[in-house]
Structures are given as structure tokens and as C-alpha cells.
Chains A and B, each alone.
Chain A
Amino acid sequence: MPEQPHASDHQSLTEAIIGFVQYARGEGLKVGVQESQEALRAAALGLAAQKGVFAVALRTIFCTSPDEIELFGQLFDRFWGGKRSSVRSRTAYSNQSNIQKRSPGSLVWMGMGQNGEEGREEGRNVSGANVMERLRKTDFAQVAEMDSALLEELALRLWKQMSMRLKRRLKASPRKGQVSLRKTIRANISRGGDLIELRKQRRRPGKQRLVILLDVSGSMDKYSFFLLRFVWALRAHFEKVEAFIFSTRLIRITGLLGHHKLEQALAQLSAEAHNWSSGTKIGACLKTFNEQYARQALSGRATTIILSDGLDTGEPALLASELAKIKARSRMLAWLNPLKGMRGYEPTARGMQAALPAIGLFKSAHNLDSLLELEKYLWHV
């Protein structure tokens, strides 16, 4: 482990400040030449005389968020503190080796991806139009192992088309707008100022924001594999997608959606997720969502989609009140329930009963076609 740098390594204050900038950069603060110049100026202004004041001054220059302030505090104490302290080096966040690794409580959907390898070979032979048609209507839970790879391929292709269409329509949607005085005058200057030709302006199509909460509890096993891929396919074509998975606790996976390779994202996800249990506490998870993320994620009225079977082991009243909060902040709240695809299904589960009043759109999500149907709702968002 490299030696922890310390202010006493340096001869002068200037050198020490530059040393600190380098140290802070190495530890993840985004500081560059500009910041070190400003730090030096701050010292020249006499702010370095008192340690507390100097800490605040450097913090003001170096940090850009509350998280960074916390990190900065530690770094400052270590570097400028009384004596050298031994510190852990930062653990590598992710590396290639993670990809093969599967943690003990590894995610259930990973299993399907692996078995798919065999299916791929056989699947090729039967990829006629009929098979495609059939697969689109097959309940995800009933998909034979050999078909799953094929279905996955088909799904990704169709979802991609769907989100492409969504994007295009939004851009071209012709809407009547107000008369734009500014543009009208400019356009008519050549006519000596007589307003003959009117120019209109329409509102820019709003930004597409999507918040997805995906249930990955035991009862959703068979579905979460495909639904997660669905989420992944959507993210490429929406302005902003925030995604969360939950069972007994809520995990934000938006960062993982940034991966270009789906498999890589899934591998990292399963490495990060611990203690997946079969129970579902939807209400509690939504509460966490409301408390920690909703303000940021739902600003500017996002569309919220919850993908869950509604089999909740928590308190129904909690679920209802948390859902109402989400609804109040969302443009539309949709609940997609894979079980709804079953013939004769009635939303009688306690959780589902409690949830119904708040839901704007209640649809099934058991096969490809049902997910593709979402298109027309997302379009109007």
C-alpha cells in the first residue's frame, strides 16, 4: 500500500497545497489546475492562518455536492491532520473479474441467461414466423428453456423499434401553437413591417422522464429476467430513466443502466445485491423511494411504472399511502402486473387491492405483446 501523503512531506505551504490537490484528485474529487490556483490564492489572502477557516475555504473551492463535502472532510483531516494516519486504500470498484463472479444470493434471472446458451443452438432451427408469433404471446413464465434465448433476442429487437418510434413521433408531433410575435416580425420585415405571414411556435416536446420500479422478489422470478431487459431496452431511448429494483429493500440501479453491455450490467448488479429473500415489502420499499429519491427522480413530472405482482407481505395501508404520494408527483402512475395476464385473474391480493385506487393504468406484463402495448401509453406521456 502506498504511503499516505501528508502535509509535513512538503517544504512550503505552496507545495503542500499542490500536494493536497493531487492527493484529493487521486481520491476522487474533481479538482484540476484551476482549483489549485484558487486554493493558492485563498492561502495568499491569509485564509491559511487558521486551520478551520482554511478547511472551509478549500472545501468551498473543491466540492460540488454534499457527498463530496463528506469525503473532503476526511481527506483534509488525513492530509493536514496532526499526525500521519494509516488508511485503507480505496477498493477497486469494478473490474473484469467481477463479470464471471456470482455472489451467493445471486439474482434469479441470471440463471436463465446461462441456460439460454444451449437453447440458442436449437432455437435457431425453429425461428419461423409462426414461432415468432407464438413467442410474442407466450407467458414469460411458461417459456421453455430452449426458447428463452430466442425470445430475448426478439424482445430486444422489438423494444428497440418501439422506443425508436416513440422518439420519432414526439419530435414530429404537429401541434398548433401560439403566434410568435418575434418570429412574425422578423419574417415580415421585408414587407415593410406589415404583418402578412404569421409565424407560430409550439411548445418543445417535453422531456421524457421515466421512473421504473421493478419487483425482483421470489414470486416474480420468471418475469424479472425479461422485465429487467425491458427496462434496459427502454433506457437507451428515453431522455432520462431512473430505475430501481426492490424486494425487501430498494436498490437504485440507474447507474448500472449506463453500461453498454447488458450482461456486464447484470453481472455487476448480482455482485452488488446481497440477501435477496423471497418476501416482498412493497410498501416499505416505496417509502424508501419517497424519502430518498422521489424528490429528485420525480421532479418535472415523470411517468412512473411499477412492475410487480402485488403479492405484498407488508402493511396494505402503508402501500396505499406511499402510492398516493408517488401518484401526486407523477404525470402518470402505471402498474404492470404479470399475473393480470392469467385468465380469470382478479386483483384480490391484499397489496393489489390497496394499490388500485392510486393507479392510473393497470396492465398486464406477462408476455411480449403486453409490453409492446405500452407504447401507446408512453407515447402520450
Chain B
Amino acid sequence: MNQTPGLEAIIERFGEQGFVADEELATTLFLMLHLGKPLLLEGHPGVGKTEVANVLAAFLGAELIRLQCYEGLDVHSAVYEWNYQKQLLSIKIQEGSARTEAEKEAHIFGPEFLLKRPLLRSITGEQAPVLLIDEVDRADEEFEAFLLELLSAFQISIPELGTIRAIHRPFVILTSNRARELSDALKRRCLYHWVDFPDMDKEMRIVRKHLPDIDEALARELVRLVQRLRTKKLDKTPGIAETLDWARGLVALGCRQLDRESIEKSLGCLLKSANDMEWARAEGVTNLLTEIEDA
């Protein structure tokens, strides 16, 4: 991509992709594209952090390479691994050949025996991809340290091959749910953006974007209820994904209006913990309905 678009273009084109981007996010993305730095998105689960990367990839017309982090994620599944079976076969085939031991070894550690995992793939592609390192807070601290080399110098060291430098710098997006605090070193290499729950107005726009046919009054009522619900102390606060699920559920159930019965029928879309459900059944739903009527 030669010409990086301006703020308005980002907002508009993201909108075409079904993503409601506000000015703050657009500014952040604009900076990220211009400064060439990784972007760290933090926020509660279900506020659309991962979606940002998806839409950015579509927006740039770039490939999306995703690395899902988990506890115990190691270099072999994140960066590279040797293709052992192929190496073994090759050794067998070469048994009769006149090559020296050193030549054989050099051969089986050649590029064709290298299996590229997401991180390595992201810096060796023909075109700069979008690299999504999802839920980096789940990976171990050691892995985080490993990421530092990639994120600051955009290079990866492989003992048998040497250092591989990025042909094109990938656009890196890291997401975190703050399950643990990330190291300062990692944060310092990134731009930072906190993704909050959307306000009433923005959430309405999101619902309308995803469910263009939904009844306007119903949408307004359900968004208001979700907004109200987020102010309560719940085990798991519903995110945007839950709002959309719930809206779809209500539409599928043929609801025109929110009432106690329809809410209770579709509660599973919204609340994901037994405690919260119990609370909602006991008093929550009735109270919420009166609260949003008063408002």
C-alpha cells in the first residue's frame, strides 16, 4: 500500500466493512500505519478487539495472519519448526550419495525443510500482511520476551539458518484482556489503545449495521437494556458480541417489543453465568425493565 489513507477514509471504509470505527480508533490506526509500530489493543472481552484486525486486513487488502496465544505456547508452534519426517527421508535417500556429512547436514537444514509458523510467515511474505497476535496476555512471560525481537527489529533468529529479516513489515495488532499485566518492555514497543464498551449511540449504530432489518424501537430498547446491564455487578459483563447475539435471537423469536417473557426466553444469549442468570430471573429483569422505562 503506497498511499496511506486519511482519518475520514479509515472511518468510512471501516464502515463499509461493517465496523463502526470512531475517531479515536481511526486516529490510532492512522498513527499505526504511519509510524509502522505495533498496536496493542486492550479492553474487556467482547468489545471487538479481534475484529479490528480482521477489518484492517480487508481494508488494506492484505492477508491476515493470526496467532492465538495460550499458556505454554512455544517457539515451535509460533515461529518455525523443522519438517522432521522430510528430513529423515532425505537422510535415507542420501545414504548412498557421495556427499560429506557436513553437506548432508547443510542440506537437511535448508529452507525447504523449514515449516513456517505464523510469526515467521508474517515477515517473509510477498506483501505486508496484518499480523494478529490474539490474547497475548495468555501466553507465558517467556514468549512475550521472544516477541520483543520481532516487534522492535522485525527479524527472527533461527540458529541453523541465521537471522531472517522482514521483507515487508507486517502491520501488527496485539490484543489483551488484561488477564495479567504485560511487561513494560513489550508495551513500550507498541502504540496503545483502550477499547471500551460503546456508548448508547455507538452501540445503536453497530446493531443497525449488523441487523439492518431490525425494528428501530426494539433495537433502541434492547441496547438501552444492555447498557443498563453493564452498570450492574455481573460475573460476566455482556460485550458487543452478546448484544448482537441477543438482537438476532429476539428477531428470530419474532419479538416486537421487550417484555419479561421474551427476555427470559432469550437470556442465554446475553448472560453467560449461572449466577447472573439466577439474579436476572429473581429480580433483575423486572427491575431493569422499570429502570429503562423511567429513563
Q: Contact residues of A with B, CB < 8 Å?
A: 30, 34, 38, 41-42, 45, 47, 52-53, 56-57, 59-61, 63-66, 69, 181-182, 185, 189, 192-193, 207, 291, 295-296, 299-300, 321
In the complex formed, the residue of B with least CB distance to A296 is B180
Q: Which of A56, A185, A296 is within 8 Å of B88, CB to CB?
A: A185
A66: chain B residues within 8 A (beta carbon):
42, 194
Map CB proximity to A onto B207-236 as digits: 1 under 8 Å, 0 otherwise: 000000000000000000000000001000
A41-B34, A60-B193 given; A53·B84 CB < 8 A: no
Known interface pairs A296-B179, A300-B71. Does A63 touch B192 (Cβ–Cβ under 8 Å)? yes
A83, chain B: closest CB distance, angstroms? 25
Question: Of A30, A45, A60, A64, which is within 8 A of B28 by CB?
Answer: A60
B92:A193 contact, CB within 8 angstroms: yes
User: Is there contact, CB below 8 Å, between A299 and B87?
Assistant: no
Q: Please, which residues of chain A bring their CB within 8 A of the CB of B192? A: 59-60, 63-65
Query: Which residues from chain B contact A59 at a C-beta distance below 8 Å?
Result: 192
Contacting residues, chain A, for B81 (C-beta < 8 A): 182
Cβ–Cβ < 8 Å partners of B37 in chain A: 38
List CB contacts (< 8 Å) of B185-200 with chain A: 187-188, 190-194
Q: Which residues of A contact B275 (CB under 8 A)?
A: 321
Please give, as numbers and ranges, the residues of chain B lying within 8 Å of A193 by CB-CB distance. Answer: 88, 91-92, 95
A56 x B194 contact (CB < 8 A): no
**Contact indicator A56/B24 (Cβ below 8 Å):** yes
30 A–B contacts, CB within 8 A, in A order: A38-B37, A41-B35, A42-B31, A42-B34, A52-B23, A53-B7, A56-B24, A60-B27, A60-B31, A61-B31, A64-B187, A64-B190, A65-B181, A65-B187, A65-B192, A66-B194, A182-B81, A182-B82, A182-B84, A185-B84, A185-B87, A189-B91, A189-B105, A192-B95, A193-B88, A207-B140, A295-B179, A296-B178, A296-B181, A299-B137
In whole angstroms, how far apart are the Cα atoms of A63 and B188 in the complex?
9
Report the minimum CB–CB distance from B2 to chain A (whole Å): 16
Q: Which A residues are CB-close (under 8 A) to B180?
A: 296, 299-300
Interface centre among B35, B40, B137, B184 (most CB of A within 10 A): B35
With beta carbons under 8 angstroms apart, the residue of A30, A41, A69, A296 that contacts B194 is A69
Docked CA distance A192–B93 (Å): 11
Residue of B nearest to A184 (CB): B84
Residues of chain A within 8 A of B194, CB atoms compared: 63, 66, 69
Is B76's CB within 8 Å of the partner chain A? Answer: yes
The 3 closest A-B CB pairs, nearest first, are: A193-B91, A64-B187, A56-B27
Using known A-B contacts A47-B27, A295-B179, determine if residue A30 contacts B193 with beta carbons closer than 8 Å.
no
Q: Is B143 located at the chain interface by the 8 A CB criterion? A: no
B22 to chain A, nearest CB (A): 10
**Contact partners of A296 in chain B: CB under 8 A:** 178-181
Taking CB as reference atom, which chain B residue is nearest A301?
Answer: B71
Beta-carbon contact of A53 and B181 below 8 Å:
no
Complex CA–CA separation, A202 to B179 (angstroms): 26
Contacts of B178 in A (CB 8 A): 295-296
**Known A53-B23, A181-B84; 17 more pairs at CB < 8 Å:** A38-B37, A47-B30, A53-B27, A56-B27, A60-B28, A60-B31, A60-B191, A60-B192, A60-B193, A64-B184, A69-B194, A182-B76, A182-B84, A185-B84, A296-B179, A296-B181, A299-B179
Instruction: Please state if B179 and A57 are interface contacts (CB–CB under 8 Å).
Output: no
Give Cα A181–Cα B81 distance, bound, in whole angstroms.
Answer: 11
A61 interface neighbour in B91, B95, B191, Cβ under 8 Å: B191
- Complex: how many Å from CA A187 to CA B160? 15
Per-position binary interface string of chain B over residues 241-257, scored 1 when its CB falls under 8 Å from any chain A CB and 0 otherwise: 00000000000000000
Minimum CB–CB distance for A218 against chain B, Å: 29
- Which of chain B's residues 153-212 have a Cβ closer than 8 Å to chain A? 178-181, 184, 187-188, 190-194
Q: How far is the CB of B119 from chain A (nearest CB, A)?
A: 18
Contacts of A65 in B (CB 8 A): 42, 181, 187, 192
Q: Are B193 and A192 in contact, CB atoms less than 8 angstroms apart? A: no
Given A60-B193, A64-B184, A64-B187, residue A47 in contact with residue B88 (CB < 8 A): no
Q: Which residues of B contact A181 (CB under 8 A)?
A: 84
Chain A residues within 8 Å of B181, by CB = 65, 296
